[in-house]
Amino acid sequence: MSSPCETPPPSARPGPLAGLLVADFSRVLAGPFATMMLADLGARVVKVEKPGTGDDSRSYGPFAGDRSLYFARVNRGKESVALDLKNPADHHVARVLTARADVVVENYRPGVMDRLGLGWAALSAEHPTLVYCSISGFGHTGPWSLRPAYDAVVQGMSGIMTITGQADGPPAKPGVPVADLSAGLYAFGAIATALLGVQRHGHGTHLDVAMYDATVSLLEGAALSFLATGVDPHRIGNGHFSIAPFDTFGCADRDITICAANDMLFGALAAALGLPGLVRDPRYATNAGRHEAREALRGELETVLRTARAAHWLAVLEAAGVPCGPISTVAEAVASPQTTARRMVVEAGGLPVPGNPIKASAYDDPAVRRAAPQLDEHGDAVRAEFS
């Protein structure tokens, strides 16, 4: 028999959100991504879907057989019930579910849930400790609140596309849906914070998370540059808006990333490349100077870097303590030993999907997760429980 101070086996360690009930009316990506994080950490998530077709993302590829990996990833570990929210019987089930839930998440356009009688005002009047999270393209206030939105629309309007890409090329969309994912992450953090507020202060809240706000918040250096100078920043490729050298550089066979973000690291970089004279060059004496002369500096660095393969320079720079790394393909990244060690690819219903980056010492991080549900897979049980 183990003593009370011993760590229980993983199978006996429920997630930190075990016992939490989440009514999930969201679909596609931003909302389901937030509720996936809640489910991964132990919450019970009941996903309410449209009868017949369910979440739109069930039809999005890539597919493994007839199963969408897109849907499987962000809906793993959830229960599915198909409800027609305009049907009185189904609406009653939804009302009972939301009355018992700790959290409600929805990502309809503002006003839709109110018209269905499932909005914040109606539910909070009967459930004062409810945490209600609304995720939308532009939020519930402001002149754009009713505009329809998808990730690419928001990326374009947020400014992030105009600062992405090479200086002499057109605006570019980042290779991942940053508007959806950032909104989902903010929603997840906001929900966790609001639940702590319920515990501390005894009342719930309405969380209004906009994809647009989330993406604007990610402008970071570009936004700060404009706010400081009033000058709209230009695209600078893979470089940094205020630090140099902090970019990708060509070697004999492939590019690598080098980030020498202070004078000490720049000195170490110069020494490692056999270019000690760079630190004495007045153009490169300060970070501001290096940034101003970053193209000239790039030329001097690449003259040496292109004499050998990336693997050689990565070993040299790592030995010198200079932050650097290869530019991996997706295949290299997901198959890396670091990805394996950190359990960042897991199995859900027999399908490989990205894992959870939150690692908590007191709780398990299983390599095998519960599958995403079939449409209405738990319908009978959910209707019986919440009738």
Considering the domain boundaries, does residue 144 fall inside one?
yes
Please give the torsion angle defined by the CA atoms of residues 337, 342, 344 and 347, in that order, rounded to the nearest 10 degrees: 90
**Same domain? 306 vs 356:** no
Q: What is the pLDDT of residue 107?
A: 96
Active site residue 240: yes
Which is the catalytic residue, given 91, 92, 240, 378? 240
**Same domain? 105 vs 204:** yes
Q: Dig out the tokens for 33 from the structure.
A: 């991504």
32-57: pLDDT as tens digits: 999 999 999 999 999 999 999 999 99
**Same domain? 210 vs 271:** no
**Same domain? 87 vs 135:** yes
| Structural domain of 20 | 10-218+346-385
**Same domain? 322 vs 360:** no
The total domain count for the chain is 2
Considering the domain boundaries, does residue 120 fall inside one?
yes
pLDDT at residue 141 greater than cutoff 50: yes
Considering the domain boundaries, does residue 376 fall inside one?
yes
**Same domain? 351 vs 322:** no
CATH number, domain of 376, equals: 3.40.50.10540
Considering the domain boundaries, does residue 186 fall inside one?
yes
CATH number, domain of 277, equals: 3.30.1540.10
Considering the domain boundaries, does residue 1 fall inside one?
no
Which of residues 280, 296, 326 is at a domain's end?
A: 326
**Same domain? 213 vs 293:** no
Give pTM, 2 decimals: 0.92
**Same domain? 87 vs 144:** yes
271-290: pLDDT as tens digits: 999 999 999 999 999 999 99
**Residue 208 neighbours by CB under 8 Å, 6+ apart:** 134, 136, 139, 140, 141
Judge contact between 333 and 342, C-beta under 8 A.
no
Q: What is the pLDDT of residue 4?
A: 37
